[in-house]
Structure 1
Amino acid sequence: MDQIMIKHMETVRDITLNTLGKIKEERADIIPQGFTNNIRWNLGHIAFVQEKIVFGISGGTPELPAEYKDLFRAGTSPADWGEHVPSLSEIRAVLQDQTNRIKAFIPEHYHEDLKQPFTNSAGITFNTVGETFLFSFFHEAMHLETIKQIHKAIKREEAAV
C-alpha cells in the first residue's frame, strides 16, 4: 500500500491532536447556541467512527473502551451522559493509540473486500477496507471543522459576558 495514504492519515490526526491541545477541559462540554453537541462529543465521535469503519466493519479487532459506543455513536447526545465521560487527555490517548494500531493494520488489509458491503448513514456504500479507510479522513476533517467552529462560538460567548 502506498505510504502516502498513511502519511495523510497521520497529518489529519496530527491536526486533530493539535486542535485538541488548544481546548481547555472546562470548554469541552459547552454546547454553544446553534450547535447540538460539544467538543468532547466530537472528539470521541471521531475515535468511535474511525474504530468502527477501520476495524469493526473490516473484521478487525476494535479496541475502544466499551463506553465509547454509548457516549459517541451517531445519534447520541451529551445531554444523556452519566457521571463518567473520558477526559480530554483520555481521548487524546485513545486517538494516539488508534493511529498506531491503524498504521499496523491497514497496509496488510487495505485491498481486502469487506465481508459484506457497508452503507453509511449518508447512503455511501463501501466495498473494501481501503474505501472505508479513505472515507475516515473526510469524516475526521468534517468533525474537526465542527470542533473549531464550536470553540470559536464559545470564545465569542465568553467575550460577550
Structure 2
Amino acid sequence: MNLLLLHHLETVRSITLKVLSSVTEQESLVTPDGFSNNIVWNLGHIAYIQEKLVFELAGKKNQLPASYERLFAAGTKPSQWKETPPTLIQLKEELMTQTERIKEFIPAHYDLKLAKPFTNKAGISFDHVGSTFLFSFYHEGMHVETIKQIKKAIQEKKS
C-alpha cells in the first residue's frame, strides 16, 4: 500500500478539522431552512461512516460510542434525536483518534477482501477494504462542503 494514501487521509481529515475549528458550539446545532441536518450531525456522520467503511466492513469492532449509530447513521436527523449529541470538542477528539487508528489499521488490511461486497446508496459496490477506504475520502469531502454551506446559511441569516 502506498504511504501517499495515508498522507491523503491526513490531508482530508485536517481540512475537516480546520472547518470544525471555525464553528461555534451554538452554530453547530442550528439546522437552517433548506437543510435536514446540522453541523454536528455532519461531523458525527463523517466519523460514523468512516468507522463503518474502514473497520466494520472488514469485520472489526466499531470503536465509536454506541450512540453514534442512533444519532449519525444515514437517514437520521437532529429533529429525531432522543439523546444529547457529542460536543464539537468530543467530535474533534473522535475524528483525531479515528485517524490514528486508521493509519495503524489500513497498511495491513488495505488489500483485504470484504466478507461480502458492500453496496452504497448510490448503487456502487465495493469488495475490498482499500476501495471502501478510498471512497471515504469522497464521502467526507461531500459532508465538509455541506458543513460550509450550513455555516454560510447561518451567517447570512445573522446579517
Q: Can you list the C-alpha shifts for 1:59-110, whole angstroms capped at 9, x where unaligned?
A: 1221000000000000001001124210000000100000000000000000
Report the residue type matching 1:78 in the other structure.
P
CA apart distance, 1:154: 0.3
C-alpha separation between the residues in 1 aligned to 2:96 and 2:67? Answer: 18
Instruction: Give runs of ≥4 in structure 1 deviating > 4 Å.
Output: none
CA apart distance, 1:34: 1.1
C-alpha separation between the residues in 2 aligned to 1:20 and 1:8? Answer: 18
Equivalent in the alignment of 1:120: 120
Equivalent in the alignment of 2:33: 33
Gaps of 5+ in 2: none
Q: Under a length normalisation based on structure 2, what TM-score does the superposition of the two structures give?
A: 0.98
> Superposition RMSD on alpha carbons, in Å?
0.7
Equivalent in the alignment of 1:95: 95
* Secondary structure of 2:126 counterpart: strand
C-alpha separation between the residues in 1 aligned to 2:77 and 2:32? Answer: 14
Q: Can you list the C-alpha shifts for 1:15-66, whole angstroms capped at 9, x where unaligned?
A: 0001100000000111111111100000000000000010001112210000
C-alpha separation between the residues in 2 aligned to 1:83 and 1:138? Answer: 29
- Using the aligned pairs only, state the percent identity: 53
Report the residue type matching 2:65 in the other structure.
P
Q: Does structure 1 residue 77 correspond to structure 2 residue 71?
A: no
C-alpha separation between the residues in 2 aligned to 1:95 and 1:61? Answer: 16
How many residues of Structure 1 are paired with residues of Structure 2 in the alignment?
159
